[in-house]
Structure 1
Amino acid sequence: MVQYLDPPLDLSFAALSDATRRGIIDQLGRGEASITSLADKFHMTLTGMKKHVQVLERAGLVVTQKVGRVRTCKLGKRGLKAEAEWIEAHRKLFEARFEALDEIINEMNREGSDD
């Protein structure tokens, strides 16, 4: 089996596959937040939130900075351009295939109604 490896995309899609991490991204889109405030907002332990933030950091979607005892999170500068381009290319592929399938079904229906 052939495997297509694109580590940045793999990390991003893995990070975004979790609803809590998507929620963190949404929350950080509104502004910076401490890990403690994120943990409170999502009703989870500090340790659990740290794990989620680490996954987002590895993907480059979030950056953290520690000042004193507070670790602040904000969105990374990388953005999701490559992921959006990948999704768009595959969306177009699926649309083209569904349009071709529609044509086949319409042709079969026309042939069936001619009998």
Structure 2
Amino acid sequence: MTDRPSTPAAPDIFAALADPTRRAIVEALRAGPQPVGVLAGGLPVSRPAVSQHLKVLTDAGLARATARGNRRYYSLAPEGVESLRRYLDTLWDDALAAFARAADEKAEAKARE
């Protein structure tokens, strides 16, 4: 059972990651699937608060819940992480292209001197 099948949008992901508790949850989930109780044990917030943060992360496409018996285990959603990576790659590509343009302009200006 997966909570979010669609590909998440970068603005949703950034909004979800804006909160330090949610970033801490994402860091914890890097170790693998975990139930709310385990996640809450490592955070300075209540178990219900962790559940609310997990809902935000799930809605943003960064986390997913899988039922195992009567427990739900949360894990990182690869498609959400991939969406974020693709967006960051476009920023990096834009920065590299701007750097290349600036270097070309400087070289042309130097050649004209």
Same fold (TM over 0.5): yes
Structure-2 separation of matches of 1:42 and 1:20: 8
| Cα distance in structure 2, aligned partners of 1:9 and 1:92 | 16
Secondary structure, counterpart of 2:97 in structure 1: helix
SS in 2 for 1:73: strand
- What amino acid maps onto 1:73 in structure 2? Y
Distance 1:8 1:92 in 2: 19
Shift of 1:55: 0.6
- Structure with larger Rg: 1
- Identical aligned pairs, as a percentage? 25
User: What is the letter of the counterpart of residue 52 of structure 1?
Assistant: H
Q: How does 1:43-82 map to 2 (within 5 A)?
A: 43-64=44-65, 65=67, 67-68=69-70, 70-82=71-83
Q: Which has the higher contact order (CA 8 A, sep 6+)?
A: 2
Taking the TM superposition and a 5 Å limit, the aligned residue runs for 1:13-92 are: 13-64=14-65, 65=67, 67-68=69-70, 70-92=71-93
Structure 1 position 94 matched with structure 2 position 95: yes
Secondary structure of the structure 2 residue equivalent to 1:78: helix
Deviating above 3 A after TM superposition, structure 1's stretches of 4 or more consecutive aligned residues are 98-108
Q: Give the superposition deviation at 1:30.
A: 1.0
CA distance in 1 between counterparts of 2:102 and 2:78 reads 41
Structure 1 residue 9: deviation in Å? 2.1
TM-score normalised per structure 2:
0.69
User: Relative to structure 2, which stretch is displaced further, 10-19 or 31-40?
Assistant: 10-19
The CA RMSD over aligned residues, in Å, is 2.8
Cα distance, 1:99 vs structure 2: 4.7
How many residue pairs align between the two structures? 105
Distance 1:66 1:9 in 2: 30
CA drift at 1:35: 0.7
Distance in 2 between the 1:37 and 1:75 partners? 15
Q: Secondary structure at the match of 1:55?
A: helix
Q: Which runs of 5+ in 2 are unaligned?
A: 1-7
Within 5 A, what are the aligned runs for 1:104-115? Answer: none
